[in-house]
Structure 1
Amino acid sequence: MKTSVIISTYNSPLWLQKVLWGYFAQDNTDFEIIIADDGSDASTGELLAEMARSSPVPITHIWQPDDGFRKCAIINKAIAVARGDRILTTDGDCVPRRDFIGVHARYARPDRFLSGGYFKLGEDLSNSLDRDLIEDQRAFSASWLVRRGMPINTKAFKLVAAPPFDTLLNRIVPTRRTWNGHNASCDRSLAIRVNGFNEDMQYGGLDGEFGVRLGHTGVFGDQIRYSAVVLHLHHGRGYVTPEMIEKSRAVRRRTREEKKRRADRGLDQWLRPDGEVTLAPDDRLVRL
């Protein structure tokens, strides 16, 4: 079951490079990479053109002009051009462990979505990750991270929980089984059913709102928090405003109260019922 991995990014080529090294090291290569680019400058495209030469899987770069925070729109456009049976959404600051794609494929069910988590790194550790550390998986070793100053706490279980212990933790963890933009997957047909992501939203729960609409159609999440591991690299969020958050909060509230199943302004702008893709005139699509 081929997967389309949709990686959202905006002007973070150094972090994106580390993320792609993680995908190049996967032990399951039955997937494609789609870079959902919300208006980055030319440096991101140049990086992708260079890295595509050594990629073991196809890479697609879908770009829209920079017109503020429009993550939902670029993810919808990525879903529209995706060629996989499943979509997996993540971010350009989340480095996957070698078994990441394999875990999502193993737990996949046509009537459920998968809800994964992340292990957050500080700024110094994020900067220190290089290609060797990612490819040989030392970056995912709790002992290696501890030697470099990572505090010990229960979150480290995500790095050390091996089967069947990870499955047990997935079952008993009280964390809600939400759609998490850094680590979640479902059949592409389910995303189409709910009209993709809600483009009336900006920062603040846009991923969870998508999952709520899936739930209103009877599609709920399975927890793989301790099985599918990504390292979340440090970054700021200077683009977030109180107005953005309040607007998104109002949309989420309306989705719950009205039990909405489909986004009013979503995927069907870019993907017609017959499967034809219709991007905006200034959008760019490059299959690398």
Structure 2
Amino acid sequence: MKVSVIFTTYNSPEWLEKVLVGFFCQSVRDFEIVIADDGSRDDTRAMIEKMRLESPVPIRHIWHPDDGFQKCRILNKAVLAASGDYLIFTDGDCIPRSDFVEQHLRLSSHGTFLSGGYFKLPIDISQMISREDITSQRVFNIDWLRSRGLKRSVKDLKVMARGFLTRFLNFISPAKLTWNGHNSSCHKEFVLAVNGFDERMQYGGEDCEFGDRLKNLGLKAKRIRYSAICVHLEHGRGYVNPAMIEANKKIRLETRLHRTVKALVGIDQYGVGQSWELAEKPH
């Protein structure tokens, strides 16, 4: 089974570099990275080209011009460009633990999508994380994180759990079984079957709405919050506004009420076989 890891980025090359280092450390190597770039400047492209030289896996850079927050649009283009039969979605601000891809593949099954989470770090720790902290995997060590000022929390179990405790916590977790864009996966055929992400939606619930349509299609959600682990690097969100969120709520409500399967404005508008990879971004 061919596998593609897809994640979005926007003008955050420092965070993106740390995420890429995390994927260079994976316990399995039979996958490709597809970066869905929502209109970043040239410094992001330059960093990706530099990281390509040391990457143990193929990296594809899918870019379109900046037109505000258009995550759904660039994700659809990235899905079309991905060569994998199985798609793992995360974000360009989430560093994966070394078994992240392995866990997604181990827990995958044809009639399900996997629903994971993240372990959120404060901005000061996010900024101090070095490449060595990632390659050594100490960024996933709770004692190391506490030594850097992380406050104790029940959420620490996300990076502490192993073996039976992992399975038990996944079972008892009260977290909703939603599609979470920072840590979810399914077969590509189902992404295409629901017409990808609804491009009418911007920030706020767009990932959950995609998951609602997968459920309407007949897929079951499987919780992997304590199995596939990534740490989230804190950052600002200047692109958020109340009108955007309210518009998304209305679309998601319609999806639930009418049990909608296919996105109204989705992946089919691009046609089959189009290539959205811009290896040479226009200057």
Please, what TM-score do these two structures have when normalized by structure 2? 0.97
> Is the Cα contact below 8 Å between 1:80 and 1:271 reproduced in 2?
no
Which residue identity lines up with residue 244 of structure 2 in the other structure? Answer: M
Which residue identity lines up with residue 122 of structure 1 in the other structure? Answer: P
> Is the Cα contact below 8 Å between 2:36 and 2:75 reproduced in 1?
yes
Q: 264, 270, 278: which is aligned to 1:285?
A: 278
Pick closer, same or farther for the CA change 1:100–1:221 going to 2, 3 Å. same
Shift of 1:270: 2.2
Separation in structure 2 between the aligned mates of residue 2 and residue 136 of structure 1, nearest angstrom: 27
The residue number in structure 1 matching 2:226 is: 226
> Is the Cα contact below 8 Å between 2:2 and 2:31 reproduced in 1?
yes
CA RMSD in angstroms, aligned pairs only: 1.1
The residue number in structure 1 matching 2:164 is: 164
Separation in structure 2 between the aligned mates of residue 119 and residue 22 of structure 1, nearest angstrom: 15
SS in 2 for 1:215: helix
Shift of 1:271: 3.9
Residue 241, structure 1, aligned to residue 241, structure 2: yes
> Is the Cα contact below 8 Å between 1:122 and 1:233 reproduced in 2?
yes
SS in 1 for 2:279: strand
Shift of 1:285: 2.2
> Is the Cα contact below 8 Å between 2:81 and 2:275 reproduced in 1?
no
Where structure 1 has 5 or more consecutive residues not aligned to the other structure, the ranges are: none
Shift of 1:277: 1.8
> Is the Cα contact below 8 Å between 1:38 and 1:63 reproduced in 2?
yes
Equivalences for residues 1-288 of structure 1 within 5 A: 1-272=1-272, 276-277=273-274, 279=276, 285-286=278-279
> Is the Cα contact below 8 Å between 2:38 and 2:65 reproduced in 1?
yes
> Is the Cα contact below 8 Å between 2:37 and 2:62 reproduced in 1?
yes
Where structure 2 has 5 or more consecutive residues not aligned to the other structure, the ranges are: none
CA offsets per residue over residues 126-157 of structure 1, 9 Å max, x none?
Answer: 00111100001000000101111111111000
Q: Which runs of 4+ in 1 moved over 6 A?
A: none
> Is the Cα contact below 8 Å between 1:271 and 1:278 reproduced in 2?
no
SS in 2 for 1:35: strand
Shift of 1:164: 1.8
SS in 1 for 2:61: strand
Separation in structure 2 between the aligned mates of residue 277 and residue 109 of structure 1, nearest angstrom: 28
Which residue identity lines up with residue 221 of structure 2 in the other structure? Answer: G
Shift of 1:278: 5.7
Shift of 1:37: 0.4
> Is the Cα contact below 8 Å between 2:91 and 2:182 reproduced in 1?
yes
SS in 2 for 1:260: coil
SS in 2 for 1:60: strand
Query: Aligned residues: percent identity?
Result: 50
Shift of 1:286: 2.2
Which residue identity lines up with residue 243 of structure 1 in the other structure? Answer: A
Which residue identity lines up with residue 25 of structure 1 in the other structure? Answer: C
Separation in structure 1 between the aligned mates of residue 209 and residue 47 of structure 2, nearest angstrom: 32
